A = this chain, B = another copy of it.
Amino acid sequence: MAKEITPRSEDYSQWYNNLVTKADLAENSVVRGCMVIKPHGYAIWEKIQAQLDKMFKETGHENAYFPLFIPKSFFSKEASHVEGFAKECAVVTHYRLKNDPNGKGVVVDEDAKLEEELIVRPTSETIIWNTYKGWIQSYRDLPLLINQWANVVRWEMRTRLFLRTAEFLWQEGHTAHATREEAVEETLKIINLYAEFAEKYMAIPVLKGVKSENERFAGALETYTIEALMQDGKALQAGTSHFLGQNFAKAFDVKFLDKSGKLEYVWATSWGVSTRLIGALIMAHSDDNGLVLPPRLAPLQVIIVPIYKKKEELDQITVVAEKLLEELKNLGLSAKYDDRDTHKPGWKFAEYEVKGVPVRIAIGPRDLANGTVEVARRDTLEKNTYSMEGLASKIPTLLNDIQQHIYDKALKYRNSHIHTVDTYEEFREVLEKEGGFVLAHWDGTTETELKIKEETKATLRIIPVDIPREEGKCIVTGKPSQRRVLFAKAY
Protein backbone atom coordinates (compact mmCIF):
# COMPACT_ATOMS: atom_id res chain seq x y z
CA MET A 1 0.00 0.00 0.00
CA ALA A 2 1.50 3.28 -1.10
CA LYS A 3 1.28 5.98 1.55
CA GLU A 4 -0.49 8.90 0.08
CA ILE A 5 -1.53 10.86 3.11
CA THR A 6 -1.03 14.60 2.97
CA PRO A 7 0.74 15.71 6.20
CA ARG A 8 -1.41 17.51 8.75
CA SER A 9 0.88 20.52 8.71
CA GLU A 10 0.39 20.94 4.99
CA ASP A 11 -3.38 20.62 4.72
CA TYR A 12 -5.32 19.32 7.69
CA SER A 13 -8.55 18.92 5.80
CA GLN A 14 -6.86 17.02 3.00
CA TRP A 15 -5.06 14.87 5.60
CA TYR A 16 -8.44 13.93 7.09
CA ASN A 17 -9.95 13.00 3.74
CA ASN A 18 -6.88 10.98 2.73
CA LEU A 19 -6.86 9.16 6.03
CA VAL A 20 -10.52 8.18 5.86
CA THR A 21 -9.88 6.77 2.40
CA LYS A 22 -6.51 5.09 3.10
CA ALA A 23 -7.65 3.53 6.35
CA ASP A 24 -10.66 2.17 4.47
CA LEU A 25 -13.17 3.72 6.84
CA ALA A 26 -15.78 5.23 4.55
CA GLU A 27 -16.44 6.78 1.17
CA ASN A 28 -18.94 9.08 -0.44
CA SER A 29 -21.80 7.27 -2.10
CA VAL A 30 -23.50 8.11 -5.36
CA VAL A 31 -26.33 9.57 -3.28
CA ARG A 32 -25.51 13.16 -2.44
CA GLY A 33 -24.31 13.55 1.13
CA CYS A 34 -24.81 9.89 2.08
CA MET A 35 -21.77 7.84 2.97
CA VAL A 36 -20.88 4.19 2.66
CA ILE A 37 -19.35 3.05 5.95
CA LYS A 38 -16.77 0.43 4.99
CA PRO A 39 -16.08 -2.65 7.15
CA HIS A 40 -13.18 -1.10 9.07
CA GLY A 41 -15.16 2.06 9.84
CA TYR A 42 -18.25 0.08 10.74
CA ALA A 43 -16.24 -2.19 13.06
CA ILE A 44 -15.21 0.92 15.03
CA TRP A 45 -18.86 1.98 15.20
CA GLU A 46 -19.75 -1.48 16.52
CA LYS A 47 -17.17 -1.08 19.31
CA ILE A 48 -18.61 2.34 20.17
CA GLN A 49 -22.15 0.94 20.10
CA ALA A 50 -21.34 -2.07 22.25
CA GLN A 51 -19.76 -0.01 25.01
CA LEU A 52 -22.40 2.74 25.04
CA ASP A 53 -25.22 0.19 24.92
CA LYS A 54 -23.73 -1.54 27.94
CA MET A 55 -23.54 1.76 29.81
CA PHE A 56 -27.12 2.67 28.88
CA LYS A 57 -28.41 -0.68 30.06
CA GLU A 58 -26.42 -0.50 33.30
CA THR A 59 -28.19 2.78 34.01
CA GLY A 60 -31.63 1.25 33.48
CA HIS A 61 -32.36 2.11 29.85
CA GLU A 62 -34.01 -0.21 27.35
CA ASN A 63 -33.86 -0.15 23.56
CA ALA A 64 -36.89 0.17 21.30
CA TYR A 65 -37.54 1.08 17.69
CA PHE A 66 -39.79 3.79 16.27
CA PRO A 67 -40.79 4.46 12.65
CA LEU A 68 -38.40 5.95 10.11
CA PHE A 69 -41.15 8.24 8.85
CA ILE A 70 -42.84 11.10 10.67
CA PRO A 71 -46.04 12.79 9.43
CA LYS A 72 -45.23 16.31 8.31
CA SER A 73 -47.79 17.88 10.61
CA PHE A 74 -46.00 16.54 13.70
CA PHE A 75 -43.15 18.97 13.19
CA SER A 76 -45.32 22.02 13.58
CA LYS A 77 -46.74 20.81 16.91
CA GLU A 78 -43.76 21.98 18.94
CA ALA A 79 -43.19 25.55 17.81
CA SER A 80 -39.46 25.96 18.41
CA HIS A 81 -38.76 22.43 17.17
CA VAL A 82 -40.08 23.14 13.70
CA GLU A 83 -37.94 26.27 13.46
CA GLY A 84 -34.80 24.32 14.26
CA PHE A 85 -35.42 21.12 12.38
CA ALA A 86 -38.11 20.51 9.91
CA LYS A 87 -36.71 22.47 7.01
CA GLU A 88 -33.85 20.59 5.41
CA CYS A 89 -35.08 17.05 5.26
CA ALA A 90 -36.03 14.20 2.96
CA VAL A 91 -39.72 14.35 2.04
CA VAL A 92 -41.61 11.24 0.93
CA THR A 93 -44.53 12.25 -1.27
CA HIS A 94 -45.40 9.06 -3.20
CA TYR A 95 -45.56 5.36 -2.51
CA ARG A 96 -45.39 3.76 -5.92
CA LEU A 97 -43.39 3.71 -9.15
CA LYS A 98 -44.68 2.45 -12.47
CA ASN A 99 -43.19 1.51 -15.78
CA ASP A 100 -42.51 4.57 -17.90
CA PRO A 101 -45.23 4.61 -20.60
CA ASN A 102 -42.43 5.62 -23.02
CA GLY A 103 -40.54 2.49 -22.07
CA LYS A 104 -37.68 4.27 -20.34
CA GLY A 105 -37.29 2.61 -16.96
CA VAL A 106 -39.63 3.64 -14.17
CA VAL A 107 -41.40 6.85 -13.22
CA VAL A 108 -43.26 8.03 -10.13
CA ASP A 109 -46.90 6.96 -10.20
CA GLU A 110 -48.79 10.22 -9.72
CA ASP A 111 -51.86 8.25 -8.63
CA ALA A 112 -49.95 7.12 -5.59
CA LYS A 113 -49.57 10.45 -3.88
CA LEU A 114 -49.66 10.44 -0.09
CA GLU A 115 -52.40 12.46 1.54
CA GLU A 116 -49.91 13.82 4.02
CA GLU A 117 -46.21 13.88 3.21
CA LEU A 118 -43.89 11.83 5.41
CA ILE A 119 -40.55 13.16 6.62
CA VAL A 120 -37.58 10.84 7.02
CA ARG A 121 -36.76 11.36 10.71
CA PRO A 122 -34.12 14.02 11.40
CA THR A 123 -34.63 13.16 15.11
CA SER A 124 -37.55 11.38 16.73
CA GLU A 125 -38.94 13.49 19.59
CA THR A 126 -42.25 14.10 17.82
CA ILE A 127 -43.11 10.54 16.79
CA ILE A 128 -41.89 9.19 20.12
CA TRP A 129 -43.88 11.60 22.25
CA ASN A 130 -46.93 10.92 20.12
CA THR A 131 -46.38 7.23 20.97
CA TYR A 132 -45.69 7.87 24.67
CA LYS A 133 -49.18 9.35 24.92
CA GLY A 134 -50.48 5.78 24.71
CA TRP A 135 -47.90 4.40 27.14
CA ILE A 136 -48.17 6.83 30.01
CA GLN A 137 -51.24 7.13 32.20
CA SER A 138 -50.00 7.16 35.77
CA TYR A 139 -46.87 7.78 37.82
CA ARG A 140 -46.48 3.99 37.84
CA ASP A 141 -45.60 4.16 34.14
CA LEU A 142 -42.73 6.53 34.87
CA PRO A 143 -39.85 6.91 34.43
CA LEU A 144 -39.75 5.62 30.89
CA LEU A 145 -36.09 5.20 29.94
CA ILE A 146 -35.83 4.37 26.25
CA ASN A 147 -33.03 4.46 23.74
CA GLN A 148 -33.09 3.88 19.98
CA TRP A 149 -30.22 2.96 17.64
CA ALA A 150 -31.19 4.29 14.24
CA ASN A 151 -30.37 6.11 11.04
CA VAL A 152 -31.49 9.71 10.63
CA VAL A 153 -31.43 12.15 7.72
CA ARG A 154 -30.76 15.88 7.65
CA TRP A 155 -30.35 17.39 4.23
CA GLU A 156 -27.01 19.09 4.91
CA MET A 157 -25.70 21.24 2.09
CA ARG A 158 -21.99 20.80 2.83
CA THR A 159 -21.09 17.32 3.93
CA ARG A 160 -17.92 15.57 5.13
CA LEU A 161 -17.46 11.89 5.84
CA PHE A 162 -18.48 11.09 9.44
CA LEU A 163 -18.49 14.76 10.51
CA ARG A 164 -21.54 15.94 8.63
CA THR A 165 -23.50 13.65 6.36
CA ALA A 166 -27.08 13.70 5.12
CA GLU A 167 -27.73 10.26 6.55
CA PHE A 168 -25.92 9.19 9.71
CA LEU A 169 -26.21 6.51 12.36
CA TRP A 170 -26.81 7.43 15.96
CA GLN A 171 -28.51 6.60 19.20
CA GLU A 172 -31.23 8.79 20.56
CA GLY A 173 -32.44 8.45 24.14
CA HIS A 174 -35.92 9.68 24.98
CA THR A 175 -36.95 9.58 28.60
CA ALA A 176 -40.13 10.57 30.42
CA HIS A 177 -40.29 11.55 34.09
CA ALA A 178 -42.78 12.53 36.78
CA THR A 179 -40.82 15.53 38.00
CA ARG A 180 -38.61 18.30 36.73
CA GLU A 181 -35.89 17.29 39.20
CA GLU A 182 -35.79 13.73 37.94
CA ALA A 183 -35.60 14.85 34.31
CA VAL A 184 -32.79 17.28 35.06
CA GLU A 185 -30.99 14.51 36.94
CA GLU A 186 -31.32 12.21 33.92
CA THR A 187 -30.00 14.92 31.58
CA LEU A 188 -26.93 15.29 33.78
CA LYS A 189 -26.49 11.55 34.28
CA ILE A 190 -26.26 11.11 30.53
CA ILE A 191 -23.89 13.96 29.83
CA ASN A 192 -21.65 12.50 32.52
CA LEU A 193 -21.98 9.07 30.94
CA TYR A 194 -20.98 10.55 27.56
CA ALA A 195 -17.99 12.30 29.15
CA GLU A 196 -16.90 9.07 30.81
CA PHE A 197 -17.21 7.21 27.52
CA ALA A 198 -15.24 9.88 25.63
CA GLU A 199 -12.44 9.94 28.15
CA LYS A 200 -12.15 6.27 29.14
CA TYR A 201 -12.86 4.64 25.79
CA MET A 202 -12.23 7.19 23.07
CA ALA A 203 -9.29 8.61 25.05
CA ILE A 204 -10.56 12.08 24.28
CA PRO A 205 -10.70 14.65 27.10
CA VAL A 206 -13.89 16.69 26.97
CA LEU A 207 -15.24 19.85 28.50
CA LYS A 208 -18.77 19.73 29.84
CA GLY A 209 -21.21 22.57 29.94
CA VAL A 210 -24.47 24.01 28.71
CA LYS A 211 -25.19 25.58 25.37
CA SER A 212 -26.25 29.17 24.98
CA GLU A 213 -29.85 29.83 23.99
CA ASN A 214 -28.74 30.33 20.41
CA GLU A 215 -26.98 26.95 20.18
CA ARG A 216 -29.61 25.06 22.14
CA PHE A 217 -31.49 22.09 20.64
CA ALA A 218 -34.78 23.12 19.03
CA GLY A 219 -37.41 22.45 21.67
CA ALA A 220 -35.09 22.13 24.69
CA LEU A 221 -35.00 24.27 27.83
CA GLU A 222 -31.35 23.40 28.35
CA THR A 223 -28.79 21.57 26.23
CA TYR A 224 -25.74 20.00 27.87
CA THR A 225 -22.81 19.16 25.68
CA ILE A 226 -19.35 17.65 25.73
CA GLU A 227 -16.80 19.43 23.59
CA ALA A 228 -13.55 17.93 22.38
CA LEU A 229 -10.56 19.58 20.75
CA MET A 230 -9.16 18.34 17.47
CA GLN A 231 -5.49 18.56 16.45
CA ASP A 232 -6.09 21.60 14.26
CA GLY A 233 -7.36 23.59 17.22
CA LYS A 234 -11.01 23.32 16.26
CA ALA A 235 -13.65 22.13 18.68
CA LEU A 236 -16.07 19.31 18.02
CA GLN A 237 -19.37 18.74 19.79
CA ALA A 238 -19.22 15.07 20.69
CA GLY A 239 -22.55 14.47 22.41
CA THR A 240 -25.56 16.37 23.70
CA SER A 241 -28.15 15.77 26.39
CA HIS A 242 -31.30 17.90 26.40
CA PHE A 243 -33.65 18.82 29.19
CA LEU A 244 -36.90 19.30 27.27
CA GLY A 245 -39.09 20.42 30.15
CA GLN A 246 -42.77 19.77 29.38
CA ASN A 247 -42.57 21.11 25.82
CA PHE A 248 -43.13 17.83 23.99
CA ALA A 249 -45.61 16.57 26.58
CA LYS A 250 -47.66 19.71 25.96
CA ALA A 251 -47.32 19.50 22.19
CA PHE A 252 -48.52 15.87 22.18
CA ASP A 253 -50.77 16.10 25.23
CA VAL A 254 -48.98 13.53 27.38
CA LYS A 255 -50.27 13.73 30.96
CA PHE A 256 -50.08 11.39 33.92
CA LEU A 257 -51.91 10.97 37.21
CA ASP A 258 -49.46 11.74 39.98
CA LYS A 259 -49.52 10.05 43.39
CA SER A 260 -51.98 12.60 44.70
CA GLY A 261 -54.34 11.91 41.80
CA LYS A 262 -53.60 15.15 39.95
CA LEU A 263 -53.19 15.19 36.17
CA GLU A 264 -49.78 16.64 35.21
CA TYR A 265 -47.72 17.01 32.05
CA VAL A 266 -44.75 14.64 31.80
CA TRP A 267 -41.13 15.90 31.91
CA ALA A 268 -38.74 14.89 29.16
CA THR A 269 -35.13 14.50 28.15
CA SER A 270 -33.44 13.44 24.92
CA TRP A 271 -29.79 12.77 24.16
CA GLY A 272 -27.62 11.41 21.41
CA VAL A 273 -24.26 10.64 19.92
CA SER A 274 -23.61 9.64 16.33
CA THR A 275 -21.14 8.26 13.78
CA ARG A 276 -19.62 11.73 14.07
CA LEU A 277 -17.69 10.25 16.98
CA ILE A 278 -15.62 8.32 14.44
CA GLY A 279 -14.61 11.64 12.91
CA ALA A 280 -13.63 12.86 16.38
CA LEU A 281 -11.64 9.70 17.02
CA ILE A 282 -9.70 10.17 13.79
CA MET A 283 -8.98 13.86 14.27
CA ALA A 284 -8.05 13.65 17.94
CA HIS A 285 -5.35 11.00 17.73
CA SER A 286 -4.20 10.11 14.24
CA ASP A 287 -0.90 11.10 12.65
CA ASP A 288 0.63 11.48 9.22
CA ASN A 289 1.09 7.72 8.95
CA GLY A 290 -2.59 7.02 9.38
CA LEU A 291 -5.11 6.13 12.00
CA VAL A 292 -4.21 5.88 15.69
CA LEU A 293 -6.92 4.02 17.61
CA PRO A 294 -7.30 3.77 21.36
CA PRO A 295 -7.01 0.03 22.12
CA ARG A 296 -10.44 -0.08 23.79
CA LEU A 297 -12.14 0.86 20.53
CA ALA A 298 -9.78 -0.87 18.11
CA PRO A 299 -11.58 -3.68 16.26
CA LEU A 300 -8.22 -5.43 15.94
CA GLN A 301 -5.83 -4.83 18.84
CA VAL A 302 -2.85 -7.01 17.96
CA ILE A 303 -1.56 -8.11 14.58
CA ILE A 304 1.13 -10.77 14.23
CA VAL A 305 3.21 -10.68 11.04
CA PRO A 306 5.68 -13.39 10.00
CA ILE A 307 8.95 -12.35 8.34
CA TYR A 308 10.41 -15.12 6.24
CA LYS A 309 12.06 -16.10 3.00
CA LYS A 310 11.63 -19.83 2.86
CA LYS A 311 8.58 -21.96 3.37
CA GLU A 312 10.25 -23.85 6.26
CA GLU A 313 10.83 -20.57 8.06
CA LEU A 314 7.16 -19.69 7.72
CA ASP A 315 6.17 -23.09 9.07
CA GLN A 316 8.35 -22.66 12.15
CA ILE A 317 7.09 -19.11 12.74
CA THR A 318 3.50 -20.26 12.32
CA VAL A 319 3.82 -22.74 15.17
CA VAL A 320 4.95 -19.99 17.53
CA ALA A 321 2.53 -17.40 16.15
CA GLU A 322 -0.52 -19.60 16.47
CA LYS A 323 0.29 -20.45 20.04
CA LEU A 324 0.69 -16.75 20.81
CA LEU A 325 -2.55 -15.97 18.98
CA GLU A 326 -4.45 -18.44 21.07
CA GLU A 327 -3.01 -17.05 24.29
CA LEU A 328 -3.95 -13.53 23.27
CA LYS A 329 -7.50 -14.60 22.41
CA ASN A 330 -7.80 -16.40 25.73
CA LEU A 331 -6.99 -13.10 27.39
CA GLY A 332 -10.02 -11.62 25.62
CA LEU A 333 -7.96 -9.63 23.14
CA SER A 334 -8.78 -9.19 19.48
CA ALA A 335 -5.77 -10.53 17.60
CA LYS A 336 -4.95 -11.86 14.15
CA TYR A 337 -2.08 -13.70 12.47
CA ASP A 338 -1.57 -12.48 8.92
CA ASP A 339 0.28 -15.22 7.06
CA ARG A 340 -1.01 -14.31 3.60
CA ASP A 341 1.63 -15.04 1.00
CA THR A 342 0.10 -12.56 -1.42
CA HIS A 343 1.62 -9.58 0.38
CA LYS A 344 5.11 -8.74 1.65
CA PRO A 345 5.79 -7.90 5.32
CA GLY A 346 6.51 -4.27 4.42
CA TRP A 347 3.11 -3.96 2.77
CA LYS A 348 1.45 -5.50 5.80
CA PHE A 349 3.30 -3.18 8.19
CA ALA A 350 2.07 -0.16 6.26
CA GLU A 351 -1.45 -1.59 6.01
CA TYR A 352 -1.88 -2.15 9.76
CA GLU A 353 -0.18 1.13 10.55
CA VAL A 354 -2.56 3.14 8.38
CA LYS A 355 -5.51 1.23 9.87
CA GLY A 356 -4.41 2.01 13.41
CA VAL A 357 -3.86 -1.44 14.91
CA PRO A 358 -2.35 -0.58 18.35
CA VAL A 359 0.23 -3.39 18.60
CA ARG A 360 2.17 -5.18 15.88
CA ILE A 361 4.23 -8.24 16.65
CA ALA A 362 6.77 -9.30 14.01
CA ILE A 363 8.44 -12.72 14.16
CA GLY A 364 11.38 -13.65 11.96
CA PRO A 365 13.89 -16.53 11.84
CA ARG A 366 16.39 -14.64 14.00
CA ASP A 367 13.66 -14.09 16.60
CA LEU A 368 12.97 -17.79 16.65
CA ALA A 369 16.65 -18.48 17.27
CA ASN A 370 16.81 -15.88 20.07
CA GLY A 371 13.43 -16.61 21.61
CA THR A 372 12.32 -13.02 20.97
CA VAL A 373 9.83 -11.00 18.93
CA GLU A 374 9.67 -7.39 17.80
CA VAL A 375 6.79 -5.45 19.29
CA ALA A 376 5.80 -2.14 17.68
CA ARG A 377 3.41 0.39 19.23
CA ARG A 378 1.24 2.29 16.80
CA ASP A 379 0.92 5.37 19.00
CA THR A 380 4.62 6.14 19.47
CA LEU A 381 5.89 4.03 16.55
CA GLU A 382 8.47 2.60 19.02
CA LYS A 383 9.80 -0.87 18.41
CA ASN A 384 11.10 -3.08 21.20
CA THR A 385 12.43 -6.58 21.46
CA TYR A 386 10.43 -8.75 23.85
CA SER A 387 11.21 -12.21 25.09
CA MET A 388 8.85 -14.85 23.73
CA GLU A 389 8.60 -16.18 27.26
CA GLY A 390 5.42 -14.91 28.94
CA LEU A 391 4.82 -12.47 26.06
CA ALA A 392 1.01 -12.74 25.86
CA SER A 393 0.54 -11.77 29.49
CA LYS A 394 2.40 -8.49 28.89
CA ILE A 395 0.15 -7.35 26.07
CA PRO A 396 -2.88 -6.24 28.15
CA THR A 397 -0.58 -3.95 30.15
CA LEU A 398 0.95 -2.63 26.97
CA LEU A 399 -2.51 -1.92 25.54
CA ASN A 400 -3.46 -0.09 28.74
CA ASP A 401 -0.26 1.96 28.48
CA ILE A 402 -1.14 2.87 24.92
CA GLN A 403 -4.71 3.80 25.89
CA GLN A 404 -3.36 6.02 28.68
CA HIS A 405 -0.65 7.55 26.54
CA ILE A 406 -3.09 8.48 23.80
CA TYR A 407 -5.34 10.11 26.35
CA ASP A 408 -2.51 11.94 28.09
CA LYS A 409 -1.24 13.29 24.80
CA ALA A 410 -4.69 14.55 23.83
CA LEU A 411 -5.17 16.03 27.30
CA LYS A 412 -1.84 17.82 27.18
CA TYR A 413 -2.66 19.25 23.78
CA ARG A 414 -6.15 20.29 24.89
CA ASN A 415 -4.95 21.89 28.12
CA SER A 416 -2.27 23.84 26.31
CA HIS A 417 -4.98 25.14 23.99
CA ILE A 418 -7.31 26.75 26.48
CA HIS A 419 -6.53 30.44 26.59
CA THR A 420 -7.99 32.99 28.93
CA VAL A 421 -8.37 36.42 27.34
CA ASP A 422 -9.73 39.74 28.54
CA THR A 423 -10.05 41.76 25.36
CA TYR A 424 -11.61 41.18 21.97
CA GLU A 425 -8.23 41.92 20.38
CA GLU A 426 -6.53 39.16 22.37
CA PHE A 427 -9.48 36.92 21.53
CA ARG A 428 -9.00 37.39 17.79
CA GLU A 429 -5.25 37.00 18.06
CA VAL A 430 -5.41 33.77 20.01
CA LEU A 431 -8.00 32.34 17.65
CA GLU A 432 -5.90 33.19 14.64
CA LYS A 433 -2.50 32.14 15.96
CA GLU A 434 -3.22 29.30 18.34
CA GLY A 435 -6.76 28.12 17.81
CA GLY A 436 -8.22 26.03 20.59
CA PHE A 437 -10.67 27.12 23.25
CA VAL A 438 -10.83 30.71 24.37
CA LEU A 439 -12.25 31.56 27.79
CA ALA A 440 -13.74 35.01 27.79
CA HIS A 441 -16.40 37.12 29.43
CA TRP A 442 -19.62 37.55 27.49
CA ASP A 443 -22.66 39.66 28.21
CA GLY A 444 -25.10 36.78 27.79
CA THR A 445 -26.89 38.11 24.70
CA THR A 446 -27.45 36.28 21.44
CA GLU A 447 -26.67 39.52 19.67
CA THR A 448 -23.10 39.60 20.97
CA GLU A 449 -22.68 35.88 20.37
CA LEU A 450 -23.70 36.26 16.72
CA LYS A 451 -21.49 39.31 16.25
CA ILE A 452 -18.49 37.30 17.50
CA LYS A 453 -19.41 34.44 15.21
CA GLU A 454 -19.72 36.70 12.20
CA GLU A 455 -16.48 38.52 12.86
CA THR A 456 -14.26 35.65 13.97
CA LYS A 457 -16.07 32.42 12.94
CA ALA A 458 -15.80 31.34 16.57
CA THR A 459 -18.96 30.05 18.21
CA LEU A 460 -19.90 29.86 21.84
CA ARG A 461 -19.16 26.22 22.59
CA ILE A 462 -20.20 26.01 26.22
CA ILE A 463 -21.07 27.83 29.35
CA PRO A 464 -18.91 25.65 31.62
CA VAL A 465 -20.56 24.02 34.60
CA ASP A 466 -17.46 23.03 36.50
CA ILE A 467 -15.34 26.15 36.65
CA PRO A 468 -16.00 28.79 39.29
CA ARG A 469 -18.06 31.87 38.59
CA GLU A 470 -16.08 35.05 38.15
CA GLU A 471 -17.34 38.58 37.63
CA GLY A 472 -16.02 40.48 34.65
CA LYS A 473 -16.86 42.50 31.57
CA CYS A 474 -17.93 41.27 28.14
CA ILE A 475 -14.99 41.44 25.73
CA VAL A 476 -17.22 42.94 23.04
CA THR A 477 -19.72 45.21 24.77
CA GLY A 478 -18.08 45.79 28.14
CA LYS A 479 -21.36 44.86 29.84
CA PRO A 480 -21.18 42.89 33.09
CA SER A 481 -20.63 39.13 32.96
CA GLN A 482 -21.03 36.49 35.68
CA ARG A 483 -18.66 33.90 34.27
CA ARG A 484 -16.26 33.21 31.47
CA VAL A 485 -17.58 31.07 28.66
CA LEU A 486 -15.76 28.99 26.07
CA PHE A 487 -15.49 29.99 22.45
CA ALA A 488 -13.81 28.14 19.60
CA LYS A 489 -13.95 27.59 15.90
CA ALA A 490 -15.73 24.33 15.49
CA TYR A 491 -16.69 21.47 13.22
Name A residues whose Cβ lies closer than 8 Å to a Cβ of B: 27, 29-31, 34-39, 42-43, 45-46, 62-73, 75-76, 82, 86-98, 105-106, 108, 117-120, 127, 130-131, 134, 140, 146, 150-151, 153, 155, 167, 169, 342
Contacts and interface: CB of A to CB of B under 8 A. Distances in A.
A164 to B, nearest CB: 15
A334 B73 CA distance: 42
B64 A34 contact: no
Contacts of A91: 92-97, 108
A29 B63 contact: no
A106 B120 contact: no
Nearest to A61: B39
Contacts of A36: 64-67, 131
A134 B29 CA distance: 11
Tally of this chain's copies: 2
Contacts of A46: 63
A243 to B, nearest CB: 23
24 contacts: A27-B131, A29-B127, A30-B130, A30-B131, A31-B69, A31-B71, A31-B118, A36-B64, A36-B65, A37-B65, A39-B63, A68-B167, A72-B106, A82-B106, A86-B106, A88-B95, A89-B96, A90-B92, A91-B95, A91-B96, A93-B94, A93-B108, A95-B155, A97-B119
Given A37-B64, A64-B42, A127 B96 contact: no
A112 to B, nearest CB: 8
With a 10 A CB-CB cut-off, give which of A34, A82, A91, A150 has the most chain B CB atoms.
A91
A92 B92 contact: yes
Contact of A88 (B65, B71, B96, B150): B96
Contacts of A94: 90-91, 93
Contact of A27 (B76, B108, B134, B155): B134
Nearest to A340: B140
Contacts of A63: 39, 42-43, 46
A39 B62 contact: yes
A35 B146 contact: no
A313 to B, nearest CB: 24
Nearest to A115: B32
